[in-house]
Structure 1
């Protein structure tokens, strides 16, 4: 376990696996209210082939809990600073849920010069029924929460029933066959995120619309979806169709195809990820931007 402190004073906990001489570096980003530890089952399978970087985003897991920075853009800046600290000039990136939003924000802010390829894991390009989204468009991209629903959702994580709300939300993202001990462990990781900070970050996350970023992505991209995920797999098909040259892979229910395939069926997830990464050319210095 190692730590790095960002320019605004937040300590980030990160972990390195695999050989430093590996041709490819893979950076894993977890989702909202989760932690880097949720990748621990799949990392050994990936670290045999790549250098793997995982880290707790601010407010999550073992990282610092500052009162500021509860914004996707700040999390994207954290990623940029971590890459600089680790002297990573080129890497493949896989973002799960909110982690995908952080990657879209990173591309929007910093471009793709350090990005060899992109893996989006079960995240809609817009979550909320924003004023400029008609019902048909909202359904296509996976936006299912209206403004009042988003408000209630965020308040629920700060209210007197917060523990129950968090547990129910977590359970809804997993397959029904999840072992009780696994659910209990995931829940304890979830509780490491402070409700106040988490609610502010969640609202910022829910209000983003990344649709204009997708067509400007200029690196090989894999979009991963789950057949029984609470995220409609049709929305992931829409994302893949709007990212130039992107591939789509949908995990079945038997393959752990809910919201956490890397946790529920790490072997299947590792095969899908390796199949994509190993088909990509060796990383090389580039000077690209999302324009």
Structure 2
């Protein structure tokens, strides 16, 4: 277990994989961020392939996985600060950054706060630019951005998480996976999800789903890859819209056979690894 401690006292667990030579080449570092209630271990099936030519850093965001469970910092902006401090700790001046689900929101917050000077390229994996239909959205804008909740549904979801309603947590996890996922895989994912404490996780979830990142997208000025899933609970059309807002962004939609649910790197990592490795290699 390798850890570092953030400026506000939170111990973060991280892992570094890859060839020794890549450690001295900041441009050849790929940092992957997991989503809400997930963990860095969910990338483990992809690591052997992704780390063949580049250094790959994965870590448990605060409150998740093996990282500390503080009472404070349940905000996307604080998670973005944690990323910046991790880069500083590892002396990474510039890296390829990939965010899955909420991890993509953390990257958008990172860009909003700190700019793109430390980003070699950006990889967005299956995340709406707005999760909730917000009051300032015109008709249709929410769906365009990928919003999957309205205000009452968001309140009910967050309240159920805060009360540690296991049926809600299990149902949400299953909704993000293909129906025929093996039982042992589902059980393992469920165990990883439950490492996130319910009350703290609910606070983070509320902050996450109430964000609107659409104004950040046109300001992204680094090479960007947007990955979508044909059978994901996140509408593939919303990911196409996201890619269209980022100048020069490339879109790739995985089919069901390619693991095109919300977790392509876990269910069928081969296609995911091929796409990400080629993208990163083209910008090394």
Quick check: TM above 0.5? yes
Partner of 2:74: 70
Partner of 1:112: 116
Alignment length (residue pairs) = 280
Partner of 2:245: 242
Partner of 2:11: 11
Q: Distance in 2 between matches of 1:277 and 1:159?
A: 41
Aligned: 1:232 with 2:228: no
Q: Distance in 2 between matches of 1:66 and 1:100?
A: 22
Aligned: 1:221 with 2:219: no
Deviation at 1:274, TM superposition (A): 1.2
Partner of 1:2: 2
Q: Distance in 1 between matches of 2:147 and 2:37?
A: 20
Partner of 1:143: 147
Matches within 5 A, 1:1-291: 1-22=1-22, 23=25, 24-159=28-163, 162-280=165-283, 282=284
Q: Distance in 1 between matches of 2:3 and 2:236?
A: 36
Identify the range of structure 1 (19-28 vs 3-12) with the bigger mean alpha-carbon deviation: 19-28
3-state SS of 1:229 partner: coil
Identify the range of structure 1 (134-143 vs 58-67) with the bigger mean alpha-carbon deviation: 134-143
Q: Distance in 1 between matches of 2:142 and 2:170?
A: 27
Q: Distance in 1 between matches of 2:143 and 2:110?
A: 26
Identify the range of structure 1 (18-27 vs 263-272) with the bigger mean alpha-carbon deviation: 18-27
Q: Distance in 2 between matches of 1:135 and 1:21?
A: 52
Deviation at 1:106, TM superposition (A): 0.4
Partner of 1:287: none
Q: Distance in 2 between matches of 1:231 and 1:141?
A: 10
Deviation at 1:159, TM superposition (A): 2.5
3-state SS of 2:35 partner: coil
Deviation at 1:211, TM superposition (A): 0.4
Q: Distance in 1 between matches of 2:213 and 2:257?
A: 30
Deviation at 1:103, TM superposition (A): 0.3
Deviation at 1:20, TM superposition (A): 3.9
RMSD value, Cα: 0.9
Q: Distance in 2 between matches of 1:12 and 1:277?
A: 26
Q: Distance in 2 between matches of 1:189 and 1:96?
A: 16
Normalising by structure 1, what TM-score?
A: 0.95
- Given that residues 6 and 85 in structure 2 are in contact (C-alpha distance below 8 angstroms), is that contact kept between their aligned partners in structure 1? yes
Q: Which runs of 5+ in 2 are unaligned?
A: none
3-state SS of 2:233 partner: coil
- Given that residues 127 and 234 in structure 2 are in contact (C-alpha distance below 8 angstroms), is that contact kept between their aligned partners in structure 1? yes
Q: Distance in 1 between matches of 2:276 and 2:184?
A: 26
